[in-house]
Amino acid sequence: MVFWAISGGLEMAVEIIISQLIGQKNQDSLAQTTRTVLAFDGICGIIVAILGIFCLPAVFRLISVPDNMMRYALIYGRIYLAGLFLIHVYDGGRAILTAAEDTKKSFYLMLTTTVLNLIFNFLFIVGLKLGVAGSAMGTILAQLIGALLTLKLLEDKFHFAKYSGRIFNAKQIKNVLHIAFPATFQQFVVTFGGVLIQSLVNPFGREVIIGYVAILRIMNFFRIVWVGLAQTLTVYGDQLISARQFSGFKKSIANSASRSS
């Protein structure tokens, strides 16, 4: 979960920047920005994965993972981290589609990867008897397919692969980091709080851990609605502000507040 904070921060930054370009009707910069942020997302995923693989044992010991679960946790964590860059590219690409108001394709992408994840997990765990490793491999394989589909959709929409400029644009990366740092810090604080609570739960043993994780899954399910509303307001608001439609922005804030109450 800690490693997701960086991906989440980058995803939010990408949504905001693409929304601003669309609001400004700056079509020329969309292909360049798409290419830059996808490459930057992938590299960030690789760096985080390398650090995570080496730090994983220390992190698990810090949060008091039981000895009888440590081996399985390390297997899953290392395989998952090995494919983390795919998740970064997938999340970044899906954020671009969402910001470009192509929410249906973004939804279908998420639905596709979720279904594939379930199928691959069943195949690797039940069919091939690979256990925890199979679960991690199924997730990464689903994310690989999702990332490839995302790149195909973005290429069809923005033709970023045909862009002849530099892959990395320093100005765009600076803009991404300017937004991503506070967003990542916010998510890291929330995630760290969850990890801290997890460290208090882990000493009680396997049964309590399973129950706690199950409750977290249920809570996260109900949080999806509010997170989706917040992301939508962020994207839509940035487009309105960039287009200098301040009255529309005020109305969107008022409507969101009334629906949330």
Statement: residue 230 has pLDDT above 80: no
Q: Read off the pLDDT of residues 37-47 as tens digits, 9 standing for 90 and up.
A: 888 888 888 99
The whole-chain average pLDDT of the chain stands at 78
Q: Read off the pLDDT of residues 81-105 as tens digits, 9 standing for 90 and up.
A: 898 889 888 888 888 887 777 778 8
Q: For residue 59, count CB atoms less than 10 angstroms from its CB and return exposed for 0-12, middle for 13-18, buried for 19 or more.
A: middle
Quick one: which of 90, 91, 81 has its CA closest to 148?
Answer: 90
Q: Read off the pLDDT of residues 119-169 as tens digits, 9 standing for 90 and up.
A: 999 999 998 888 889 989 999 999 999 999 988 888 887 777 666 667 777
The residue assigned the tokens 């691959």 is 120
Statement: residue 246 has pLDDT above 60: no
Residue type for position 15: E
Parse the chain into domains and list their residue ranges. Answer: 2-249
The residue assigned the tokens 């033709």 is 159
Lowest average pLDDT, out of 16-30, 52-66, 113-127, 204-218, goes to 16-30
Task: Between 247 and 147, name the one with better pLDDT.
Answer: 147
